[in-house]
Structure 1
Amino acid sequence: MREIIFDTETTGLSPAGGDRMVEIGCIELVGRVETGRSFHAYFNPERSMPSEAEAVHGLSETFLSGQPLFRDKVEELLDFIGGDPLVAHNASFDFGFLNHELGLCQREAVCMSRMVDTLAIARGKFPGAKHSLDALCGRFGVDRSARVKHGALLDAELLAQVYIELTGGRQIGLGLDPAEMAREAAPIAVAVTAPVAPAAPRAARAHAATEQEAAAHRNFIARMDDPLWDRMGVST
């Protein structure tokens, strides 16, 4: 199954209040595996950038004034996302801005049935815990050291790794079809054999030296200077 992980950066919190999308980043997953395909774009919001928003993502009004308008990139974006599920963290926020921009271009809104919200998934799996993207990266050991400021493509890349872990990890399915997975899950038959009777004890081997062996030993030590056996008073 193909899924698109995406994130947006904006001028504020409310599209209804005049805020606009200024960046979008999308990552393609197929079968819960990143394919390496992505879509990323900055947009000129045709309005000022509040200092509070710029402090979050670092995108200045000067920088964005040289970027394309959303309507100039909309076809490329729609071609990339296709009709597949769209995964985001606090997805209603990102869907709200995406659909607002589509509406300004007289394009059809993305159906909310395509929305997959990783925030809702995390709250269901870890009630009472912290559910921010940073907190989930920490929980799953995802390296977020490059995340000095928010960025749509970087956050989508981090979220892709978090989403994989939230939905079963990288080992999920292993690409097996249902019949193969059933065989993998089947119990392994173990042959049971009758216990082996212990062997009868073997008689102790005689270990006393023969007279011939004793004579050979006496001749051997006779050639020694101050042999240990004489000092210890051991009879040979």
Structure 2
Amino acid sequence: MSLELTNQLLWPFKSLPDEYVVVDTESTGLFDSGGAPGMVSVGLVLVCKGKIKKSEEFFVRPHRPMTDEASKINGITQKQAEHHPAFCEQWPKILPWIKGRLLACHNASFDWLLIVDHIARYNAVAARPAGVFCCQRAAQPWAQAKEIPCSTRGPSLDKLSEYLGLENLRHAQANKHGALVDAKQTANVIIRLQQF
């Protein structure tokens, strides 16, 4: 693939501001007929000029019970989740991270919608980010050109990391999908794609 075509396909990454926050969430399951799943954690990574500046994870007590499948994925049990602080306690700590900044999520159609649901559900202060960037969707044309396997949403975080030769941070977590480890992995992918 020519440099010109690479630049064209990766322009969304190359157009990102010098500072943005990568966000990932873990939940009790998926959106279903009962509405949004419960949030169990939020991982936040501040990226400045292509480097991770700081990161933090906030655990949240969910409003719905943890499904067995979700617990296997994120390693959080229902009993553990019941002892997390309420969303209303954690939101004032999360808000300064995201207010006025561009938010980047690997799968924004899940993570951002879950955050929006919880803001409305608990009548919390609006987030007002500068915008929301979906890494998975933005990477899809480039990934398809590189023949990286993609779902209908785009390439998975694991497939992108593998192709880019990035360390899979989940391996140190027994392959669990933690919000902070996934936010860091997403940040590493975005930073690497910005460098092409």
**TM-score normalized with structure 1 length:** 0.66
Q: Which amino acid aligns with 1:162?
A: V
Identity %: 29
> What displacement does 1:24 show?
0.6
Checking the alignment, whether the CA contact within 8 Å between 1:121 and 1:166 is kept in structure 2 is no
Aligned residue among 17, 22, 34 for 2:52: 34
Aligned residue among 155, 176, 181 for 1:154: 181
> What displacement does 1:82 show?
2.5
CA distance in 2, matches of 1:18, 1:81: 21
Q: Is 1:17 the counterpart of 2:35 in the alignment? A: yes
Q: Which runs of 5+ in 1 are unaligned?
A: 170-236
What do you get for the CA RMSD once the two structures are aligned? 1.8
Checking the alignment, whether the CA contact within 8 Å between 1:39 and 1:80 is kept in structure 2 is no
Q: Is 1:115 the counterpart of 2:132 in the alignment? A: yes
Checking the alignment, whether the CA contact within 8 Å between 2:40 and 2:60 is kept in structure 1 is yes
Checking the alignment, whether the CA contact within 8 Å between 2:22 and 2:44 is kept in structure 1 is yes
> What displacement does 1:68 show?
0.1
Q: Which amino acid aligns with 1:62?
A: K
Secondary structure at 1:126 match in 2: helix
* Pair 89,65 (structure 1): closer, same or farther in 2 beyond 3 Å: same
Residues 34-81 of structure 1 deviation map (CA, whole Å, 9 limit, x = unaligned):
11x112111111332111111111111100111101110111100122
CA distance in 2, matches of 1:86, 1:47: 26
Secondary structure at 2:69 match in 1: helix
> What displacement does 1:111 show?
5.3
Residues 158-215 of structure 1 deviation map (CA, whole Å, 9 limit, x = unaligned):
111100112225xxxxxxxxxxxxxxxxxxxxxxxxxxxxxxxxxxxxxxxxxxxxxx
2:4 counterpart residue number: none
Secondary structure at 1:23 match in 2: strand
Q: Which runs of 5+ in 2 are unaligned?
A: 1-17, 150-154
> What displacement does 1:105 show?
2.3
What aligned pairs does 1:89-104 form with structure 2 within 5 A after superposition? 89-104=106-121
Checking the alignment, whether the CA contact within 8 Å between 2:38 and 2:65 is kept in structure 1 is no
CA distance in 1, matches of 2:78, 2:142: 39
Q: Which amino acid aligns with 2:134?
A: D
